[in-house]
Structure 1
Amino acid sequence: MTLSQIQGFYKNQTVFITGSTGLLGKLVLRKLLTTCAPKKIYLLIRQHKGKSVEERLETLLDSADLRRDKSEFKGKIFAIKGDCGLPGLGISQDDRNTLVNETTCIIHIAATIKFNEHLRLAAYINVRAVQDLLHLAKEVRDLKAIVHVSTAFSNCNHKDLIKEQFYEPGMTATELLKMLESMNDEAITNTTPDVLGSWPNSYTFTKAVAENIIKNEAQDLPICIVRPAIVMGACQEQILF
């Protein structure tokens, strides 16, 4: 059977994925493992609700419908302890060195998708994490591609047809993060409506700022932005919610 261009591209590649525990991340992980024959996959996973990274990895493999193939895929999947809400993605220096030396592709899916998320947390996860990921990507020795998952609603404040192009956000990532560091949570809450401007919520605003980071800081990287609309389950894919 002839491989598609995507299958051929990812064959024997070492892929670093953020956001693999979410619905879209599970589907991407499953598709890569079952159809693309990658060499390795590193997954950024944080400790959550008392579960270790290793325990969450086991749960992830089950929920991504990889239970029957777990033994086959286990040697290809490795957990990287981290957290997109922390500086530097919360990754240890040893794990960072591993990613720099081995990774060839990066798929950044992680985000907080709560519309009413506090602006500080939304900015840390949706903005600062992208900036930190690009810093990491620039150190990777054999980087072939980065896929950044944005949203179709990142520029929803534009009333005309939204084109496949960059749009200017209300402020740059540097301005936003500097402002947040100088304010307490209550002050941020009070000023959030003014900061958002024509954006309806912190989610769409921070995703717009993240795209601007890519425009300004990733010109020398092999990167693309995808803007999915509403993500739902598919009847053909047995992904457990």
Structure 2
Amino acid sequence: MDSRTVRDYYKGKTILITGGTGFMGKVLLEKLLRCCPGVKAIYLMARSKRAMCPSSRVQEISKLPLFEPLLKQDPDAFSKVIPITGDLTKNNLGMRWECRDDVISQVQIVFNLGASLRLEADLKDHVSANLMGTKRVLELAQKMKNLESFVHVSTVFCQCEPPVVEERIFPPKVNPHAVIDLTEWLSQKENHRDITEKLLGEHPNCYTFTKQLAETLVDEYKISLPVSIVRPAIVTPSHHEPFPGWVDNLNGPIGVLVAGGKGVMRSMMCGRDNKSQMVPCDVAINAIILAAWKRSTTGPINKTPVYNVSSGDEVPLTYGTIMDKGKEVLAKYPVDPGLWYPGGTITTNKFAHETKVFFLQIIPALFIDMLLFIFGQKTFMMRVQKKIRNGCEVLKYFTMRTWNVNIDKTLSLHERLCKEEQEIFFLANIDLNIEEMMKNAILGTKVYCLREPIDTLPSARKKLIAYWIVDKLVKGFLLYYSAILLINLYFWVLQFDTATFNLSAVTHK
């Protein structure tokens, strides 16, 4: 067994990263360049997007705040990054032949992070990116002459049936190759909702379904390739590196935080006592780097190594705790208020949820859009509510149940590391305080996603106080007039009953 340290192992290595322009891919790139400076080269596979070629996209990525500490330490760090054109949904990954030949002859480590993350996308899109894309990367890896490790990044939520998500592969009920053949047969315009529903079974969407099938594909290559699988849970902003709170998108719980903080979301279907599974992005990336190192230092295997990366039982989290702490932190570190004073509740009662959404979200949105229309402005609030509704519908499956995840193998990645490298590639040896996590998440979202600098906090707090006063005045106004209405209704009913009684008495006489 190889006794070299992790950083020694990565010296002189050439790496291929798919999905390197995504949230996790960028954090992985930064960590490798900063903590494994001996890396020889990193091929970053990316598509052309918005008229920008991969080289231009990498150049734009290098300007992000994420890379500022790295570039202060090593201004030439990006000279090791080689952008190459590639697309998971295209034959031969859409690579030019000369680039493909370079990758085959030089790459020793593959990190397969590329995937379609749009949970609402249809079966054909997910199969194309998550299933056929993974197959194409595996086929490319089989041709690599010096491959030492292939890490496929999946998700703990790809296993929806077992009460505990174990660190092993669960055989799917359908054959992944049959699903690929089926979707190739289906035409793009054909309505295949009925077929999709039958295929999904226990899965809530095509994303988790195809991620499970992709794991099965990876497992098929365990004899011929040094494969391993890493399954992060819900990925949250960074805990520590390169600084607390880094995030660049509003997906998942971050979007819920922002919608609540802006006052445009007042209710969510969610069980307070349901256990959640989350992990900061920098912790997940450390596990991915360590998984590649460990697989390369072991010999032939009979089972594909699987690592669940989550809070597990180390940091027990419930949605109720997250909700309460989130409200506390938002009160201290508010985002710039939007529609109304932040608030909202979680419930498991569908009728109560829909009632709150209608009166506290839809009606205000319609009213604001009506005013905007009258004054000749572009309406947008109902579009925002539609996005919130779609997002909540997707998240409902995950928030309405408890998730139990085994993380023993992931914790064991630290066993052979010296104390210094345990600190560099931290996993469970950090204090994941929920209040600190929420603070980092909210401040990071405020600064990096909403573009609200930290020095706007004083003005945001003043606005929040003003919104609170208006909120209380409006609620008092509504309560007062509701009481007046009920009293008047009571006396009207009383008078009606008296009149009816008198009429009855007269008629009787």
TM-score range relative to shorter protein: over 0.9
Structure 1 residue 163 displacement after superposition: 1.3
Offset of residue 86 of structure 1: 1.5
1:181 aligns with one of 176, 181, 184: 184
1:170-228 deviation line (CA, Å, top 9, x unaligned): 32221011101111233333421111111111000000000000112332211110010
1: CA distance, partners of 2:232 / 2:187 = 33
Partner of 1:15: helix, strand, or coil? strand
Q: Which residue of structure 2 lines up, in the alignment, with residue 13 of structure 1?
A: 13
**2:122 alignment partner, one of 100, 118, 124:** 118
Q: Aligned partners of 1:163 and 1:65: how far apart in 2?
A: 33
Match of 1:231 among 232, 235, 239: 235
| Post-superposition CA distance 1:16-73 (Å, at most 9, x none) | 0011111111110000000112100000010112222121011122226335357412
Q: Which residue of 2 aligns with 1:170?
A: 173
* Letter aligned with residue 83 of structure 1: D
The 1-side partners of 2:217 and 2:187 are apart by 24
| Local SS of the residue matching 2:117 | coil
Identity score, percent: 28
Instruction: Verify the 8 A CA contact 1:170 1:196 in the aligned structure 2.
Output: no
- Matches of residues 133-144 of structure 1 in structure 2 within 5 Å? 133-144=137-148
Task: Measure the CA separation in 2 of the matches of 1:5 and 1:124.
Answer: 38
Partner residue, 2:199: 195
Quote the RMSD (CA, aligned, Å): 1.9
Q: Which amino acid aligns with 1:181?
A: E
Q: Which residue of 1 aligns with 2:224?
A: 220
Residue 155 to residue 64, structure 1, CA distance change in 2 (3 Å) = farther
Q: Number of matched residues?
A: 238
More helix by share: 2
CA distance in 2, matches of 1:77, 1:5: 23
Q: Give the structure 1 partner of residue 61 of structure 2.
A: 60
Residue 155 of structure 1 corresponds to which residue in structure 2?
A: 159
Q: Which runs of 5 or more residues in structure 2 are unaligned?
A: 249-509
Partner residue of 1:94 out of 82, 93, 98: 98
Equivalent in the alignment of 2:28? 28
Q: Distance in 1 between matches of 2:115 and 2:121?
A: 11
Question: For 1:120-157, what per-residue CA distance to the aligned partner results, in whole angstroms no more than 9, with x for missing partners?
Answer: 1101110111111111111111111111101011112x
SS of the residue corresponding to residue 150 of structure 2 reads strand
Aligned AA for 1:58?
Q
User: 1:70-94 CA deviation, whole Å, 9 max, x = no partner?
Assistant: 7412321100101112222211211
Give runs of ≥4 in structure 1 deviating > 6 Å: none
Unmatched segments (≥5 aa) in structure 1 = none
Secondary structure of 1:165's aligned partner: coil
**Considering only CA atoms, is the larger Rg found in Structure 1 or Structure 2?**
2
Amino acid of the structure 1 residue aligned with 2:9: F
TM, length-normalised to structure 1: 0.92
Task: Select which of 83, 86, 90 maps to 1:79.
Answer: 83
User: Displacement of 1:235 after TM fit?
Assistant: 4.5
